[in-house]
Structure 1
Amino acid sequence: METVLTSLGLALLFLFLGIPLMLGKVKRNSLYGARFPATMADDRVWDVVNRKTGFVFVAGGAVAGIVDLLAVAGVVTRDVGQYVVGALMVYILITSVWLWRYSERVARERGVTARDMDVGRTEPLLVAIGCFAVSVIGVLSAFSTPNPWLGFRVPATLADPAVWHQVNLRVGLTLAGLSGVFGFMFLGLRNMTEGERKRLFSGLFIGWLAAIILVAVAGTLFAYSLTY
């Protein structure tokens, strides 16, 4: 039940943050909104991109909230909460890359040039920070005990502390290692030319997401193999 409530709270947060952006009520600032180089360089780009960002948040929050309410009502299993949280995280990562690309396209259409913005150096740094954050979470998960918040949480690991330990140790350390490697690779992009960054960034980002999904699938299969 705690996981469902956490997921529902996250969905409501998405709605709370997304509605003002979608309505165009948030002016360019240094704290809140889609803060890409292109959006920070021009108010027109900020308005267009952040309205789209708001829609992304509202859509994701609404879908997640509906699923969570169905879980609270008992229509679907309450275990769905953990999957909703994971799906929202992946959703934000993917849409962030898309919004970044979209912001640069809008900037070109509005006549904002590269001289007006630092194109392509901020995003690799932000993603690298995300990679290192996932690495830390992986290490903490590897040595965690069953709990409502942290760790590789599937029914098989929640049902047996021994399975939890074996699965989280392997999944956590694997995730930490892979994300750490990708983090340093993203940092390396900052020293490349703009063209090289643009050419490599999307591939690296997709590779990182694919690695996370692969680890999750492998961890799930391993967890259930231990129960038979």
Structure 2
Amino acid sequence: MLMENVLASLGLALLFIVLGVPLMLGKVKRNSLYGARFPATMADDRVWDVVNRKTGLMFVAGGAVAGIVDLLAVAGVVTRDVGQYVVGALVVYILIASVWLWRYSERVARDRGVTARDMEVGRTTPLLVAIGCFAVAVAGVLSAFSTPNPWLGFRVPATFADPAVWHQVNLKAGLTLSVLSGVFGFMFLGLRSMTESERKRLFSGLFIGWLAAILLVAVAGTLFANSLAR
């Protein structure tokens, strides 16, 4: 199981690199599916290029560091338990990077003379984020009723060491994550019926709130797992 965890973590690290390289090289033009899609980046090609080059660099850097750690685990230089931490670290890394990139995109937009009037949230962006919320909600439900595995669930040493701990932690953390993400998903859908000014006012706060909720569940789940393992 430990080797499977490391290989799964290594695969995720390679995916980060594969996704990041085209962005880092500026090969991805403004689109509705792939890249850092913030109001500022979608408003101007120059902002898109600057921010997504930075996004790609962060993806490649994160994937490279994670990949090196995983390869060291495969070679036996470090313990293979590390695979359980690398995936979680990458998730936290992306959450923090997303918030930072959002703020960075707004700063770049101001430097390029892009005004708030130009930075429309639109109706598509809330829909895509809502789909992401519902995907996380489904993953939460699946993890709540899962058994120890290298792909899905709250994967820390304490949960892998004891199936009973895995069940308790994933049941509570998975369902909590599912409910929170589902609520945020419906709130994002609600933005589509609002005016553009209302969407601009609420979207950023909701997005950061959703990321904070995921991080809070992750921290609480870790503490709960460790308390059960004592």
Question: TM-score w.r.t. structure 1 length?
Answer: 0.81
Which residue is equivalent to 1:172?
174
Q: Distance in 1 between matches of 2:109 and 2:16?
A: 26
Structure 2: 5+ residue runs without aligned partners? none
Instruction: Note the C-alpha offset of 1:122.
Output: 4.3
Q: Does 1:124 align with 2:130?
A: no
Change (3 A) 1:223 1:97: closer
* Aligned-partner SS, 1:165: helix
The alignment of Structure 1 onto Structure 2 pairs a total of residues equal to 228
Residue 23 in 1 paired to residue 25 in 2?
yes
Which residue of the other structure, out of 217, 220, 223, is the alignment partner of 2:219?
Answer: 217
Is 2:158–2:229's contact at 8 Å kept on the other side of the alignment? yes
**Contact 2:36–2:51 (8 Å) recurs in 1:** yes
Identity rate, percent: 89
Change (3 A) 1:210 1:29: closer
Unaligned runs of 5+ in 1: none
Please, which of 9, 13, 16 is the counterpart of residue 14 of structure 1? 16
Query: Contact 2:176/2:217 (CA < 8 Å) preserved in 1?
Result: yes
The whole-number CA distance in structure 1 between the counterparts of 2:115 and 2:199 is 17
1:3 corresponds, among 2, 5, 8, to 5
Structure 2 residue aligned with 1:182: 184
The offset of 1:42, in angstroms, is 3.6
**2:146 matched residue in structure 1:** 144
Equivalent position SS for 2:26:
coil
Query: Partner of 1:62 in structure 2?
Result: 64
CA RMSD of aligned residues (A): 2.9
Residues 94-113 of structure 1: pairs in structure 2 closer than 5 A:
94-112=96-114
Conserved 8 A contact 1:11-1:60: yes
